[in-house]
Amino acid sequence: MRAAGAVALKEEMDLETVEAMEYRPVGNNVVLPISRRLSLTDLTERTCKWPVGDPLKDDFHFCGCESSDTSPYCKYHAKLAYQPVHDRRKAAAARA
C-alpha cells in the first residue's frame, strides 16, 4: 500500500552567521580604492561589481570604481577574486 501525498526527507540545516572578512594587503604597493557605493541599478559595463556588505541590509552596495574591459572588477578587487590555484590550496590547507 502506498502512502498518499509526497513524502520527502526533511533536511536539517544549521545556519552559520556571516562573519565580516578582514582584508590584509600582501604588499606595500596595494592601494585600497574608495568605494563609489553604487546600487545594482547604477552599475554599468565599466564599473566594479564587487559586492560590499550584507545584501539584506540597507547599506549594501557595490564598489563602483572603474573596471577594465576584461574584468567585472577594479584592479584591487580583481586581485582578490582571481587568485592562482596554488595559493588558494595553500590558504585552504592553512585554515584546516
Domain extent listing, the chain: 40-95
**pTM exceeding 0.95:** no
Half-sphere exposure of 35 (CA within 13 A, CB side): 14
Ranges of residues in the chain whose predicted pLDDT is under 70 = 1-33, 87-88
Q: Supply the pLDDT for residue 27.
A: 58
Q: Supply the pLDDT for residue 73.
A: 94
Q: Supply the pLDDT for residue 35.
A: 77
Distance between CA atoms of 37 and 51, rounded to whole angstroms?
10
Sort 48 into a burial class: Cβ within 10 Å, 0-12 / 13-18 / 19+: buried
The residue with cell 544549521 is 14
- Name the residue among 62, 24, 69 with its Cα closest to residue 46: 69
